[in-house]
Amino acid sequence: MTIHQRDWQAFVTPAKDGAVHMDLAVDGITCAACMGEIERGLKRLPGIRSARVNLTSQRLAVDWVEDQTGAEEIVRELSKLGYTAHPFDPASQKERQDQTGKQLLRCLAVAGFAGMNIMLLSVSVWSGNATDITPETRDFFHWLSALIALPTVAYAGRPFVRSAFGALAAGRLNMDVPIVIGVFLAVALSVVQTLQHHHHAYFESAVMLLFFLLVGRYLDHNMRGRTRSFAENIAALKAEVAARIGADGSVREVPLSKINTGDLVMVAGGERVPVDGVVETGLSDIDQSLVTGESVLVPVKPGQRVYAGTMNGSGALHVRVEAASGATLLDEVNRLLETASQAKSAYVRIADRAARLYAPLVHGAAALTFLGWLLAGMAWQPALVISISVLIITCPCALGLAVPAVQVVASGQLFRCGILLNSGDAIERFADIDTILFDKTGTLTQPEPELFEKLDPEDKLVSLGGRLALASRHPLATALVKASGAIVPLPHVEEISGAGLRTLYEGEELRLGSPSFCGVDEVETEQALNLVPGASMLAIRHGNRPARLLAFRQKLRSDAKEVIDALRDQGYAIEIVSGDTKPAVADCARILDVPAWRSGMKPAQKIARLEELQAKGRKVLMVGDGLNDAPALAGAHVSLSPVSAVHLSQAAADAVFLGDRLRPVVDALRLSGKARAAIEQNLWISALYNVVAVPIAVAGFVTPLMAAVAMSASSLAVTANALKLKWGERKQLSRYNEDAGSNNPASGGDR
């Protein structure tokens, strides 16, 4: 991987029986065959206790005896098998076990078990009430129900009680408040009814209600958990590590969380700079496109500042870390991020908005029912029974499922289109959008530079340059290797930091590097730059013959034009905001036919533009990848980020899209529109259900059986409506694949 040693101890945790444990994110696991291959392959190593692949989260858990094999060998073996793996930083992995999910599942199991058993008893009582049950048997059954229901409500009701109290303590009402009141009143009243030998008790309603709501809660949680675990994998695979130089001069790779201010960090050629800091020694040039959006390389020398997320060119740098100082770019970005995300938290989800209206309405109706029947001359207890049945039948069972059910289905569909959601309510916010801001570098364009011209394979000079470029990990050199298809490196290559490479070939000097290094004068470079605005130049020279200039630039993503056109047709306003230079942005905007563009934007300016639009009442989708986009991503109404983005931007974005194409942007908007429609339909279904059910309940005609049937029916209705989204979408997806297949057979295999 890198020339220096990684500090594996930081990733390894002790396991039982003297073994050690490590979790790895593995890239490239696609099928069951990979799973067997990895597990079998690793077990061939000495000392491996167990190796188990988790296909769902694409992770590998290995236990081994420490003195027989090492973490390094394991990763090497994996790469021999063809998989890139990266260990998780244990500091960021504290939440590895999904405690909340398991707790919800346990509550769900308990509620399900209790619900089934109480139903068994209740059905006997209901049918007995109609025929010939003796009062003793009925009381016995009621007591048995109470025996099961009381501990169940105490156990399985905790998630709701906690959240309801949390909301009340903060002075708000959420959906859990009526749930908790309804359940507890129902249980308490049932106990009283049982004590007084009444015909009816409502234990089964309370428990079944909890069961249905827990289903919704678990679905909701599951969706978020899955996205989070993929995001963590991506973060781990992107190697969030830094090579720290110790006091004794040794270089060890440690997780970023263990780097402190004042540490000295080494950045090898071609690596991403992991920290903000000042260069102590070394010469290189830096690709700052992820930070500033500018794709031209910037030379750096000792004393200059470098930023996390930028790509180092050819030279090795020693960087003194200064993350704590308040003036770094990262700090500025962080400060902007914080204010921006605070502004966004004011967004209220549809479900919560519905609950705000709903809770007072339900409580009011129940209270009025109680008072009404009292005034009509009924005793307090039967009046309370009726008002509780109003509470129970209106209890937002369908409401509790309405949103999570749609979210789960929609996030699954989005995942198929290569979109991972970071936050559950992003779907709703996507549907509000009317304006889209695009960053240019790395978003509309591909993250890696590409050679501008088509190469002639017979071009001897260029293929020589490609072979020379194999010796370097500079991004432009990598692009040249790719373009020329070189595979045989040249011997004895000397690398001059910040300038280029040279070697002797057929007795003459062969040089590859910056135009000045190869003796090209400024005028000629200037002319070439005018032809290809915003390009980075690389030159090749062999002996005294004239040098050859190659222009590299970040190409537009393959479907950028198509996607922009489609978005414009759908009526979205589109703007490009980029930190790149004016000619580069102008050129890109011309190709894409976007009249509204701004260049040279700093993070604060991007935010300012965003706020300007939002002040006009626009709902803005921000699509960007750079560090300079992060605050805008956090501040926008909703945001998308490609998987190649820097970590901070991915964390700030509401969703991340995979792959090299821009198509997911269209998919995200289309699917969210449909999902929001389904959510609204679901809320209407629940409202309609209440309109029908409440008068019947208020009139006092509702038996527990009817309440249970009505409740289940409404829940099934909203779930079925959510699944409808999937059916319609499957047709759409297959049609899209056919289209893609017929227009462009080569693109068929990217999914």
Partner 1 sequence: MDVLIFLIPIALFLGALGLTAFLWSLKSGQYDDLEGAKWRILDDDDLPGNNR
Catalytic residues: 439
Site for partner 1 in 309-368 (CB under 8 A): none
Site for partner 1 in 497-526 (CB under 8 A): none
Least separation in angstroms between residue 84's CB and partner 1 is 19
Interface with partner 1 (CB under 8 A), residue total: 24
Give yes or no for a contact between 358 and 396, defined as CB atoms under 8 angstroms apart.
yes
> Per-residue contact track with partner 1, 81 to 120, x per CB under 8 A?
---------------------x--xx--xx--x--xx--x
Of the pair 133, 496, the CB lying nearest partner 1 is at 133
Of the pair 106, 172, the CB lying nearest partner 1 is at 106
For the record, the structure tokens of 231 come out as: 């995001």
Q: How far, in Å, CA of 395 to CA of 700, rounded?
A: 16
Of the pair 51, 594, the CB lying nearest partner 1 is at 51
Give yes or no for a contact between 353 and 147, defined as CB atoms under 8 angstroms apart.
no
Of the pair 138, 200, the CB lying nearest partner 1 is at 138
Q: How far, in Å, CA of 562 to CA of 663, rounded?
A: 9
How far CA 383 is from CA of 131, 374, 386, 490, 698, in Å, comes to: 25, 6, 5, 93, 10
Of the pair 36, 741, the CB lying nearest partner 1 is at 36
Determine the 3-state secondary structure of 92 from DSSP: helix
Least separation in angstroms between residue 138's CB and partner 1 is 11
Of the pair 108, 653, the CB lying nearest partner 1 is at 108
Which of 22, 51, 57, 255 touches partner 1 (CB under 8 A)?
57
Least separation in angstroms between residue 103's CB and partner 1 is 10
Least separation in angstroms between residue 142's CB and partner 1 is 13
For the record, the structure tokens of 74 come out as: 């394991």
Of the pair 116, 706, the CB lying nearest partner 1 is at 116
Calculate helix-pair angle for 158-169, 135-156, nearest 10 degrees. 60
Cβ contacts of 17-22, under 8 Å, gap ≥ 24: 17/49, 18/65, 18/66, 19/49, 19/63, 19/64, 19/65, 19/66, 20/63, 20/64, 20/65, 20/66, 21/61, 21/62, 21/63, 22/61, 22/62, 22/71, 22/74, 22/87
Least separation in angstroms between residue 132's CB and partner 1 is 11
Least separation in angstroms between residue 215's CB and partner 1 is 15
How far CA 658 is from CA of 151, 177, 746, in Å, comes to: 46, 39, 18
Cβ contacts of 248-257, under 8 Å, gap ≥ 24: 250/5, 251/4, 251/5, 252/4, 252/5, 252/6, 252/7, 253/2, 253/4, 253/5, 253/6, 253/7, 254/7, 254/10, 255/10, 255/11, 255/89, 255/91, 255/92, 256/89, 257/89, 257/91, 257/92
Least separation in angstroms between residue 204's CB and partner 1 is 14
The stretch near partner 1 (CB under 8 A) out of 28-36, 212-220, 487-495, 582-590 is 28-36
Q: How many C-beta atoms lie closer than 10 Å to residue 21's C-beta?
A: 17
For the record, the structure tokens of 530 come out as: 């005018």
Of the pair 52, 730, the CB lying nearest partner 1 is at 52
Q: How far, in Å, CA of 368 to CA of 387, rounded?
A: 8
Least separation in angstroms between residue 659's CB and partner 1 is 21
Of the pair 138, 661, the CB lying nearest partner 1 is at 138
For the record, the structure tokens of 302 come out as: 């000792």
How far CA 154 is from CA of 151, 178, 359, 683, in Å, comes to: 5, 17, 23, 29
Q: How many C-beta atoms lie closer than 10 Å to residue 232's C-beta?
A: 20
DSSP 547: P
Site for partner 1 in 704-733 (CB under 8 A): none
Least separation in angstroms between residue 433's CB and partner 1 is 33
The stretch near partner 1 (CB under 8 A) out of 34-42, 313-321, 356-364, 451-459 is 34-42
Which of 12, 26, 38, 53 touches partner 1 (CB under 8 A)?
53
Which of 3, 32, 357, 720 touches partner 1 (CB under 8 A)?
32
Site for partner 1 in 234-253 (CB under 8 A): none
How far CA 567 is from CA of 613, 659, 707, 748, in Å, comes to: 18, 19, 47, 23
Which of 16, 17, 56, 249 touches partner 1 (CB under 8 A)?
56
Which of 10, 25, 26, 35 touches partner 1 (CB under 8 A)?
35
**Residue entry with tokens 């090492």:** 70
Of the pair 222, 288, the CB lying nearest partner 1 is at 222
Site for partner 1 in 125-184 (CB under 8 A): 134, 137, 144, 148
Which amino acid appears at position 67 of this protein?
D
Give yes or no for a contact between 276 and 329, defined as CB atoms under 8 angstroms apart.
yes
Which of 50, 54, 129, 747 touches partner 1 (CB under 8 A)?
54
Alpha carbons within 13 A on the beta-carbon side of 520: 25
Question: First CA to last CA across the chain, in angstroms?
Answer: 28
Of the pair 103, 525, the CB lying nearest partner 1 is at 103
**Residue entry with tokens 């109290």:** 165
CA torsion angle 405 407 409 410 (round to 10) = 150
How far CA 619 is from CA of 235, 375, 451, 683, in Å, comes to: 29, 51, 37, 23
Give yes or no for a contact between 213 and 160, defined as CB atoms under 8 angstroms apart.
yes
Least separation in angstroms between residue 126's CB and partner 1 is 16
Of the candidates 353, 60, 346, 365, the one whose C-alpha atom is nearest the C-alpha of residue 182 is: 365
DSSP 715: H
Least separation in angstroms between residue 36's CB and partner 1 is 6
Which of 3, 9, 13, 55 touches partner 1 (CB under 8 A)?
55
Which of 40, 158, 172, 590 touches partner 1 (CB under 8 A)?
40
Of the pair 35, 640, the CB lying nearest partner 1 is at 35
Least separation in angstroms between residue 173's CB and partner 1 is 33
Residues in touch with partner 1 (CB under 8 A): 31-32, 35-36, 40, 53-57, 102, 105-106, 109-110, 113, 116-117, 120-121, 134, 137, 144, 148
